[in-house]
Amino acid sequence: MSSVWFFAEPLAWLAVFSWISWFNGRLILNACCSGFFGPTRIDSESQVGSWPGSALEQLFLNSVTGLAWLIMAATLLAVCGQLNPAAIASSMLIIPLLAALRFRGWLTTPATLEPKTLPLGWWMLVVVFVTTAARVFKPEAGFDALSYHLPYARLFAEAQALVVDESLRYPLNALGFDVLYSVGLLFDGEILARLFHVLASFGILTGVYALTQRFFGPLAAFLAGLFWIMTPLIRMLMVSGYIDIGLSLFIFAAVYGLLLYQSLELKRLLMFSAAMLGVALGIKYLALVTALILVVWVALLSRRLRTVLVYAAVAGLVGCFWYLRSWMIAGNPVHPFAQELFGFWLWTADDLAAQSADLLSVHGVDRTLINFIRMPFDLLHYDDYKHGRLGLPVLAGMLLAWLAIWQRPVLRATGLFVLANLVFWFFTSQLTRYLIPTLPLLLMLTSAYLAMALTWLVKPLRWIWPAIGSRNRRLMSFALITILIISSVSDLREEAGEGKLLVNEAQWQADLARHPEQQLADAARSPRALATMKLGFPKIQYRFSSPLMGDWFGPARMAGFVRKSTSTEALIEAMSALQVNQLLIDASYPYFVALRPLLDDPRFVEVFSNEAGWLYRYIGS
């Protein structure tokens, strides 16, 4: 495969899905103020005014709505066992077909997605963003992405349906964004799948720019977008197959709708917020916490029980599928949690205790009030918090949230939302990536106050900018964009030369092959292999093309397997119970390596070994 095609194919598919999402979202939102809730035809921009009117806001609102439709349509197809490219493409034509045949007014709204209507500051950030996102053209290395997010996506894509693999971690969960990854795998492969996460990050960049510009002006908007791109945790995760930024996109969209509703008092903005919250509920259980906060927010805004119930009902209707699926299979809508209440399925009490400890006490610092107050300063050092640095602008936002709650309504609402999330986060998991849904608003707070300070500082020089003239200002902006493009191209070429960016399929395969874990996975592929039990190797799941078992939780719990294997005969019995005939041992875990003496038996052969571990096969007597 040529270098051009290696880049062009996934990017072309991403462009297609991005445009389709924008177009479908535009039709859906137009329907909300024409075909369903208003006149059947939109004849003027004044009627469109029931949705926010800036080009950037419409780009964000349309795109996130269309992406939500893509996720929901793909999920429905997977339920029906029809998750294939033809069915997905057909589902994307449903909204345009309805618009053309019945609600013709949907198609009459003037298009606002024109380059000249989008802010130059946003275009500058787009150039910077592209450079940051380029590392998606390198094999996945993220822990959770390789352990279960991409394996789920591959499982659904191969089966073209929603199936349960009891050997994977969290076999029942909210998996909406994983289904979107399946779409990427079906149309192109791993790169397109992960580009959907990049697209979610780009959506937040656009949304935080638009929202900050609406309430605090263009300087604050530019700073908020720049801070989002430069946040180390975002730069690391957006090119990976995690789902946290995808979750954050829809939570941010839900908050966006509420902030606009608070300002404009348009009920359809409230319904937009509820629908986006519903999509978030279908991506990760963490959105249940956000749902509680937003329902309280709606109650304080409306002070009407009916409005609160309608909001909760819409969110619940959109997001309930994965919870109903878990309840129908395991009798527990939030499996694997709350199993003491709903009964145990696959997991044991020990599994649940280990998972609870991992989420609630293992990471971070002691959950005390003093440590909560010190949290922004402690996060500067990062030593006790897991998953990536947040950056100084985010930490400044944590402090400014306390100031914001005493300011005008938009700042007060943002500050209270941020603080509620911080309290929950600190006294539970303390994994920094669980803060990502709050980051856009933290950065908006920082940018708003920083822009106010900068404006005050340069106030004596405010005559300079008008004196330059509009034409010269435009030329300066285009010159800056040109410099950014040249600099970005240079950076990309440098990264390609250093091996940080792969430029063709041959380099991709060579990069995979040099990893010891991939070598072991390749060695495990054999007609003689029934299935493999792994001990360790938390990131090998996605690279394995043959049946693989072994996790910290569930029916193939690795620690339990080792405890049962007190002798060679007991080891063979444990393998037989799981119907595996290969054993993969991670050299970095002494607890698992201790099993090796039991394998010095003629009934076992060492198939392959390297510095990462050993692969054994049971051949019988």
pLDDT in tens, 265-300: 778 889 999 999 999 999 999 999 999 999 999 999
Most confident stretch, 212-216, 351-355, 460-464: 212-216
Percent residues over pLDDT 70 in the chain: 84
Predicted local distance difference test score (pLDDT) of residue 43: 38
Q: What pLDDT is stored for residue 484 in this prediction?
A: 60
Which of these ranges, 60-64, 285-289, 386-390, 603-607, has the smallest mean pLDDT? 386-390
Averaged pLDDT for residues 580-597: 90
What are the pLDDT digits (tens) for 491-502? 555 555 555 566
Residues 387-410: tens digit of each pLDDT: 567 888 888 888 999 998 898 889
> What contacts 473, CB < 8 A, 6 or more positions away?
465
Picking from 12-16, 28-32, 51-55, which range would have the lowest pLDDT averaged per residue?
A: 51-55
The residues near 462 (Cβ < 8 Å, ≥ 6 apart) are none
Residue keyed to tokens 């937003």: 294
pLDDT (0 to 100) of residue 38: 38
Residues 6 or more apart in contact with residue 459 via CB below 8 angstroms: none
Please give the Cα distance from 30 to 3 (Å, whole number): 41
Three-state DSSP state, 481: helix
What pLDDT shows up at residue 570?
92
Averaged pLDDT of the chain: 84
Residue 42 pLDDT? 33
Confidence (pLDDT) at 28: 87
Apex 386 CA angle, 500 and 415, nearest 5:
105
Relative to beta strand 613-618, strand 604-610 is: antiparallel
Residue 611 DSSP symbol: T
- Residue that wins the pLDDT comparison between 166 and 399: 399
Tokens of 330: 């395991």
Average pLDDT over residues 300-315: 92
Q: What are residue 170's phi and psi, to 5 degrees?
A: 55, 60
Cα angle 337, 194, 281 (rounded to 5 degrees) comes to 35
Measured in residues, the chain has a length of 621
Closest of 147, 240, 259 to residue 201, by C-alpha: 240
Average pLDDT over residues 250-265: 91
Q: How far apart are CA 258 and CA 246, in angstroms?
A: 19
pLDDT of residue 53: 67
pLDDT at 100 over 50: yes
> CB atoms < 10 A from the CB of 569, how many?
12
Place of tokens 């029916």: 555
The separation between CA 545 and the C-alpha centre of its own chain, rounded to angstroms, equals: 25
d(Cα 430, Cα 308) in Å, to the nearest integer? 30
Q: State yes or no: pLDDT of 48 exceeds 90.
A: no
Per-residue model confidence (pLDDT) at position 421: 93
Q: Which two tokens stand for residue 555?
A: 């029916």
Distance CA 27, CA 24 (A): 5
Q: What percent of the chain has pLDDT over 90?
A: 40
Per-residue pLDDT averaged across 533-543, rounded?
87
Of the pLDDT bands very low, low, confident and very high (cuts 50, 70, 90), residue 466 is low
**Beta pairing class for 532-535 and 582-586:** parallel
pLDDT at 110: 42
Per-residue confidence (pLDDT) for residue 499, from 0 to 100 = 56
Higher per-residue pLDDT: 591 or 490: 591
Give the largest Cα separation in the chain, rounded: 91
SS3 of 555-595: the string is CCEHHHHHHHCCCHHHHHHHHHHHCCCEEEEECCCHHHHCC
Q: How many CB atoms lie within 10 A of CB 381?
A: 9
